[in-house]
Structure 1
Amino acid sequence: MESQHEAIDLTVCEQEAIRIPGSVQPHGFLAAVREEDMAIVQVSDNTASFTGLAASALLGQPATVLIGAAPCLRLRDVLREEGNIAKPIHFDAVTLPGGGVMNLLVHQADGLLMLEFEPTASTLPGRSRHLASLISDFLSHLTDTDSVEAMSALAAREIKTLTGFGRVLVYRFDHEGHGHVIAEARNPAYHSYLHQRFPASDVPRQARDLYLANRVRLIPDAGYEPASLLPPRNPVTGEPTDLSFATLRSVSPVHKRYMQNMGTLASMSVSLVVQGKLWGLISCHNAEPAFVDFDARAVCEQLGQILALRIESREERDEYTYRLELRRILVSMLSALSQSTDFVTNMASVSHELLRFANASGAAICFEGKLSCFGLTPDAPQILDLVEWLSARSHNDLFHTDDLSGAYAPASEFKDCASGIMALPISQIHRHYLVWFRPEVIRTIDWAGNPHLKENVGDGIAAALTPRSSFATWRETVHGRSLPWRKSEIETALEFRTALLGIVLERAEQMAELAEGLGRANKELESFSYSVSHDLRAPLRHIAGFTDLLMEFEGSQLSERGLRFLRNIKDSARFAGKLVDDLLSFSQMGRAALRIDKVDMNELVTNALTKIANDDEGRVVNWKIASLPMIEGDPAFLQLALYNLLANAVKYTRTREVAEIEVSSESTNDEIIFHVRDNGVGFSMEYVHKLFGVFQRLHRMEDFEGTGIGLANVRRIVERHGGRVWAEGRPDEGAMFSFSIPVHLSVPEQSSTTHVKANSSR
């Protein structure tokens, strides 16, 4: 046995070549035979202890030297009948040259026929002579159990009885690869590992691959000295001999030390494979050396296969039941979501089912610039930052984790309500997300030894690895993790996403159809308003003109009251004519094509001020005009928009002794913004939504004249350039009107080229 302070010659466990150790365990011996002539080409160097023949003397000899002529002929017949024998089969009990009897196991590998010789019968007491009946009893008892833990406990007891081992554990691997002991059968003197966990590093990746391929592994005595192969390389391939399926394959020195540190000298493992994956292991331990013969191992393997099938059936049944419930909730939600076009409102109506669907404590929908939250969620800014992070990483159809803070550090601030998330993007273009949140579940895990402890061999051999030396219970409290997401939850959520995309697409089509209808109605309305406005201009001018004539020629014969009536008729006709002109201008505004050119905004302001000069005659107006940039746009339309805004500023500062009017600009990467600020009467922000509507006025006509169309013209001009308009104000403290023009215009062509002008009114 190696000393604790002897260095083990190995590299990192994950890279260790455990399939080609170059040696076998010495409780038996191995001979590799060339099939075409049945000549022995490779043997283990312990052959003499079983046969009395030196290993080197056997090389090149026919296999009959070892097993005799008759067994050799029968072996050829088996090979012809079986074809390729990838895994060991029990051929027969054969008599060796020295007179001993051993079981012969046979399989093929790397172009050679592998003959393995091992003891014929177990020396352990109580071994059953009726292995078939044991399987039958196990099956009958298994039907009476329901849970995976109960089935595993039954298997542990049966295998302990069959093998005589002191302790049998059944543990399953979790999604991180850690082994969780779910059942145990043991003698009182043995330490219990029930409900404890073994870290994933205890079973390296290549060992798991081998457990998946070779379902049973026996080590009768961990204190053995390995028997080397002679020659060390396969004579056919020139490579190290692959012993993956050899029952005598020597194990890693690390694993031998691991067993010794655990107080185990004999061990056997049976793989539990569920749906083609290594679900877990049945691990048998004995404090003293112990051998289990092939027949008993075969029964253990069958018990493991039966248990795996029952586990698979149980898990499939549970999963099927859970999926049915998920689908029932899904159908209920989709039925409600399809009732109307208001997607977010519909989501709110099924918020309870939405949380049940994902077994979540909270959910959030980020859709069309709005955030709606249900249940226990992070704050709105935290959710928006999370959505920004999700969209930047393009997680395609779905992103899920039970350790959000491990992937997204800011999540540690809200781990109590969102340690796990499942996020569905519900748009291929926009940042529209449906996110479920699961809270932190603080768990206490009992490990069989500290899983984070890294040990080294000897003094000063820091590069070498060893198995851990302590299996004492080590308790760890895990924070920042939620319940893991089940496969069925993820798959059903993807179905939900597909359905949601269909609903959103249908909504978009309905909105597009509605927009098309509104577009047609707007065009018809514009045509109607243009026709009506055009046809009304002449009658209104006639009314005003004939009123002037009547007052001029017949005024001396009229009473003062009659003249007052005529003046009222004249004023009303002129106001109506002005209103008709503005309506005509507004109608033409949507029909006229834009003529895009380079525009000097300083020049447009100068032209507007020239026109306004007559209106502010006799007043003190302090103009503060900043240097304005060149932009792209329609000069005539932009001139009209600026004139309306500046005329508004002059009009609504009329009550001030000194009017302060300021024009400025600012730039971003995407747009150029212009501001017109005044110190006039202002307005209440409560009514800001009315400012840019047609015929909307926030002040009495007796105080400030106007038709209420000027600002509507400003908005239409700016929006046709792809920009936006807004305003800020306070009563009696002035106002600021702003509009933006994109740096790069993208405007549709129009058929008409008419240009118009209109006066402004707030």
Structure 2
Amino acid sequence: MDGSGARPPGAADLTACDREPIHLLGTLQPHGFLLALSEPDLRIVQASANVPDLPGRPAGSVHGASLRTAFPEAEAVLAHYLSQAQPLEGAAFLTTLALGGGEGVRSYDLAAHRVGDLVVLEFEEVASETASAQSLDALYPRLNAFVEGLHAAGSVAELCALLASDIRHITGFDRALVYRFDRDWHGTVVAEDGNGVLPSYLDLRFPASDIPAQARELYRRNRLRIIPDAGYEPVPIIPSHAPSTGAALDLSQAVLRSVSPVHVEYMRNMGTMASMSVSILVDGALWGLISCHNKAPHRVPLQARNACDFLTRIFALQLAARERGALAEQRIRLGAIQARLLAYMAEEEHFIDGLLNHPEDVLALVDAAGAAVVTAEGCRLLGATPAASEVRGIHEWVSGQPVGEGLFVTDSLGEDYPAARAFADRASGLLAISISQKYASYVLWFRPEVVQTVSWGGNPSKPATADPDGGPDRLHPRKSFETWKETVQGRSLPWSGPEVDAAKDLRSAVLGIVLRRAEELAALSEELQRSNKELEAFSYSVSHDLRAPFRHIVGYSELLRSREGANLTETGRRYVDTIADAALSAGKLVDNLLNFSQMGRNSLNRVSGDMNQLVEEVRRKTLRDVPSGRAIRWQVGSLGRVYADPVMLRLVIENLLSNAVKYTRDRPEALIDIGREPDRDGEAVFYVRDNGVGFDMAYVGKLFGVFQRLHRVEDFEGTGIGLANVRRIVERHGGRTWAEGALGRGATFHFTLPLREGAR
């Protein structure tokens, strides 16, 4: 594509229709005439070229004349209109006037509206042969029956069918269609009534290019438009530009406004010579159109057109009420589901479990086939979803998108994220909400592909062709309206407004829970920190103060044994030995408790280090206290590097290896295995495994507690603080500890350390 925007010679710019100033064409349809008046004297400054000659008032004399002079019949009626509050948009019908005299009398329906500082007055000639048949009195029974029928209709489809039928019978057109716009402004014929003269277009879809953007805006602003004869010769407005402003007259609200030559040709290609459209507005937005067609030229009196406008407005009110009612019912139903989910989350310690444990409600909240909850802890899948790796790819992609209000929604995921085309059968639709303002945590809902066959009224890819003789900007509409079928793939059913709102509300609720939990945890953390400091200070004080008495007990026991031992009986010497051993044990316990209390006070000095080297140093030190007769087989795998405090990490390894040596001493050959498992979730995972006495998993929760022992001190010496130190050190590094074992079958102790650069 040429970045300059230039087109090669002869190429058609298919957006030219979108830019055509159809409200400034400067011409009228010939079944009436127009005057543009300046205030306050209502002087005629512009007029259409077909102003009729009247007795004593030749058409050539109207320019520059006042309305009172040129058309005194209309002056009083218009003055009354100008004294009242005028509608914001659309022309107002004033009255029916007779102009001329004798056999030359003609009746005109008079309509007026404002354009800037001008008043536009239109005279539409009345078709006398049909006026009486379409009077208000004649139309009333059908209008009344229509209102009754609206209340009896059971669905929107029945409403549309009723409207098409009544509009056609009021207007006498060969065919009346109810045409609904979709979100892309393609239109589908959802109801039709006809007499068989023209082909049926029911259920056909027409491309958005058939009614370009500025035409849709005119439909919104001017609800009713009629073209009695597509073969008309446009009538120019003289002068073409207002003398006071130099601008062309804006005919957006004009009843007699001429139409684009492209549209006239479009009608001829459809085989219709007359048409009428009535806009269906719901809450001020263009919902669709009533589109009427006739094979031959056809006039519809103003009274009948006004009746059609009236019927359409009533229909739009009933339609809006039904759509609002359906939406309200859906919101109530989804609100009940959301309330249950919030209750489930409130009951769980980890609120996400409230979602994961109730997948039916999670899916029902937005009518999805599958869902995924992706957090830092992992990816959990619910229902029919892509594979976990594919969901992680979607999550990574969505996390990089500009997500407004923490929400992303599409019913054609493959168009935005091409990798999704490989699993369109499970995820063509995506609705995603961010449930964390700090981390890339999302709830993702999926809808499968719904393959549809769309019947178009002609090939939508060929909406217009260039005129080789008319220049690059002269287009011809397509000539074929025969059914053209297209298979639409890669799309899911669209997400409705209430479903999107339900997802937004859930996100707000989750963020509220997270914020409340964060505040509670912050307060608890402050309290725990204060308590820990007090406990550490107390432990340090007690431990420090107890060391001296225990040393004295040991010292005096030794003195008693060395100096007075000869005077002691065997029993007395045994008592002294017991006192000394107990004091030594208590002193060691106090030392360990002091180390434990200092563990939380010392700062971490992390560096990158070789784990195998550290383990080898600790292993050699541990072997110094092992009797020479013991058989120990060591298996040390590749442990890699870690990013940790070497002094504290050494204490972890010392405790784990000394425990492994201690609890395997009754084995003929002790087997101690030290290894590293595959990294997962950003952590390095290490283990120390032995074939010793093991432990009962029923008591695993006590294993890492202070002073907690699962074996008698008579069997295995120790203070019960070593594993507590291991857990505290690992947790201070941001890692985890756990153990597995069985009585008589050994034990395995695991610990993790967060991965950092240089620690692989």
TM-score, normalising length from structure 2?
0.79
Structure 2 residue aligned with 1:314, among 317, 322, 340?
322
Residue 398 of structure 1 deviates from its aligned partner by 2.5
Q: Aligned with 1:457: secondary structure?
A: strand
2:466 counterpart of 1:466: no
Instruction: Give the direction of change, closer, same or farther, for the CA distance of 1:478–1:567 in structure 2 (3 Å limit).
Output: farther
Matching residue within 76, 79, 87 for 1:76: 79
Instruction: Quote the offset at 1:409 in angstroms.
Output: 2.4
Matched, 1:481 2:483: no
1:23 to 19, 23, 27: 27
Letter matched to residue 125 of structure 2:
P
- 1:600, 1:270 → 2: CA distance? 77
What corresponds to 1:756 in structure 2?
Answer: none
Choose from 82, 85, 90 the match for 1:87. 90
Corresponding residue for residue 759 of structure 1: none
Compared CA separation, residues 741 and 527, structure 1 to 2 (3 A)? farther
Q: Is the 8 A contact 2:622 2:658 kept in 1?
A: no
> Residues 571 and 46 from structure 1, CA distance in 2 versus in 1: closer, same or farther, beyond 3 angstroms?
same
Answer yes or no: is 1:442 the counterpart of 2:451: yes
Q: One-letter code of the match for 1:495?
A: D
Moved more, 223-232 or 608-617: 608-617
2:49 paired with 1:45: yes
Report the CA distance shift for 1:189/1:141 in structure 2 as closer, same or farther (over 3 A).
same
Alignment deviations for residues 280-329 of structure 1 (CA, whole Å, 9 cap, x no partner): 10000111111112221111111111111111112122222222222233
1:266: how far off? 0.7
CA distance in 2, matches of 1:325, 1:599: 57
- Spell out the pairing of 1:536-547 with structure 2 (5 A cutoff): 536-542=546-552, 544-547=554-557
Give the AA of the match of 2:205. R
Q: Compare 44-53 and 98-107 and name the one that shifted more.
A: 44-53
Q: Do residues 233 (structure 1) and 241 (structure 2) align?
A: yes
Distance, in Å, in 1 between the alignment partners of 2:57 and 2:735 is 98
**2-structure distance, mates of 1:333, 1:674:** 36
Does the CA-based 8 Å contact 2:209-2:463 persist in structure 1?
no
In structure 2, the CA distance between the partners of 1:614 and 1:79, relative to structure 1 (3 Å rule), is: closer
Unaligned runs of 5+ in 1: 1-5, 665-670, 745-762
Q: CA deviation at 1:660?
A: 14
Alpha-carbon deviation of 1:170? Answer: 0.5
Q: 1:346 to 1:582 in 2, by over 3 A?
A: same
SS in 2 for 1:272: strand
Does the 8 Å contact 2:424/2:490 carry over to 1? yes
Say yes or no: does 1:297 pair with 2:297.
no
Aligned equivalents of 1:14, 1:306: Cα separation in 2? 31
Question: 1:749 corresponds to which residue?
Answer: none
Aligned partners of 1:121 and 1:293 also within 8 Å: yes
In structure 2, distance between residues paired with 1:525 and 1:303: 82
Partner in structure 2 of residue 354 of structure 1: 362
Give the SS at the match of 2:506: helix
SS at match of 2:287: strand
Q: Percent identity?
A: 42
1:139-154 to 2 correspondences below 5 Å: 139-154=147-162
Instruction: Using the TM superposition, give the Cα deviation of residue 611 of structure 1 relative to its aligned residue in structure 2, in angstroms.
Output: 14
Q: 1:452 to 1:682 in 2, by over 3 A?
A: farther
The equivalent of 2:598 in structure 1 is 588
Is residue 341–residue 362 contact of structure 2 (8 Å, CA) maintained in 1? yes
- Following the alignment from structure 1 to structure 2, what is the Cα–Cα distance between the partners of residues 212 and 489? 28
What are the ranges of 5 or more consecutive residues in structure 2 without an aligned counterpart? Answer: 1-9, 629-633, 677-681
Residue 332 of structure 1: CA displacement? 3.2
- Report if the CA contact (8 A) 1:218-1:269 is conserved: yes
Distance in structure 2 (CA, Å) of the matches to 1:663 and 1:150: 74
Change (3 A) 1:527 1:390: same
Which amino acid counterpart does residue 232 of structure 1 have in structure 2?
A: S
1:567-716 to structure 2, matched below 5 A, reads 573-590=583-600, 592=601, 594=603, 638-639=646-647, 641-642=649-650, 645=653, 709=721, 713=725, 716=728
- Give 1:480 shift: 2.1
Q: Is the 8 A contact 2:467 2:476 kept in 1?
A: no
Separation in structure 2 between the aligned mates of residue 679 and residue 314 of structure 1, nearest angstrom: 70
Structure 1 residue corresponding to 2:124, chosen from 107, 118, 121: 118
Q: Matched residues in 2 for 1:93 and 1:371: separation?
A: 76
- Residue 261 of structure 2, aligned match among 241, 248, 253: 253
The alpha-carbon deviation at position 181 of structure 1 amounts to 1.4
Aligned residues of 2:89 and 2:222 also touching (Cα < 8 A): no
Deviation at 1:333, TM superposition (A): 3.1
Choose which of 505, 514, 519 in structure 1 pairs with 2:515: 505
Aligned to 1:750: none
Asked if structure 1 preserves the Cα contact closer than 8 Å seen for 2:44 and 2:63, the reply is: yes
Match of 1:263 in 2: 271
Paired position in structure 1 for 2:6: none
| Distance 1:612-1:725 versus aligned 2 partners, 3 A rule | farther
Q: Distance in 1 between matches of 2:407 and 2:446?
A: 14
Greater shift in the superposed pair: 84-93 or 380-389 = 84-93
Residue in 2 aligned with 1:457?
Answer: 466
Residue 490 of structure 1 is matched in structure 2 by 500
711-720 vs 608-617, which moves further: 608-617
Worse-matched range after superposition: 122-131 or 372-381? 122-131
| CA spacing shift, 1:17–1:470, aligned 2, 3 Å | same
Q: Secondary structure at the match of 2:152?
A: coil
Give yes or no for contact 2:622–2:654 (8 Å, CA) kept in 1: no
Counterpart residue identity of residue 47, structure 2: V
Go from structure 1 to structure 2 and tell me whether the alpha carbon gap of 1:10 and 1:295 turns closer, same or farther (over 3 Å shift).
farther
1:137 aligns with 145
- Pick the aligned partner of 1:398 from 379, 396, 407: 407
* Deviation of the 1:366 alpha carbon: 3.1
Q: Which residue pairs with 1:190 in the alignment?
A: 198
Greater Cα shift, 56-65 or 302-311: 56-65
Tell me what 1:409 maps to. Answer: 418
User: Quick check: 1:99 aligned with 2:107?
Assistant: no
- Mapped contact 2:606–2:646 kept (Cα < 8 A): no
Instruction: Please give the secondary structure, in 2, of the residue aligned with 1:396.
Output: helix
Q: Which shows bigger deviation, 540-549 or 415-424?
A: 540-549
> Structure 2: how far apart are the matches of 1:447 and 1:492?
34
* CA deviation after TM superposition for structure 1 residue 422, in Å: 2.2
State the Cα deviation string for residues 344-375 of structure 1 (Å, max 9, x = none). 23224443233222222223333462433322
Q: Taking structure 1 as the reference length, what is the TM-score of the superposition?
A: 0.79
Q: Deviations over 1:657-694 (max 9, x none)?
A: 9x999999xxxxxx9x999999999999x999999776
Equivalent residues of 1:330, 1:357 under 8 A apart: yes
Q: Deviations over 1:48-104 (max 9, x none)?
A: 69999987654334445653x343344334433456785322432231489341413
Indicate how the Cα distance of structure 1 residues 402 and 679 shifts in structure 2: closer, same or farther if over 3 A, else same.
closer
SS at 1:42 equivalent: strand
* Aligned residue identity for 2:322: R
Deviation at 1:143, TM superposition (A): 2.3
Among 220, 229, 244, the alignment partner of 1:212 is 220
> Equivalent residue for 1:668?
none
Partners of 1:166 and 1:75 lie apart in 2 by: 36
Q: 1:35 corresponds to which letter in structure 2?
A: E
Quickly say closer, same or farther: Cα 1:122–1:181, change in 2 above 3 A.
Answer: farther
Shift of 1:222: 1.7
- The answer on whether the counterparts of 1:645 and 1:737 sit within 8 Å (CA) in structure 2 is no
Asked if structure 2 preserves the Cα contact closer than 8 Å seen for 1:725 and 1:740, the reply is no
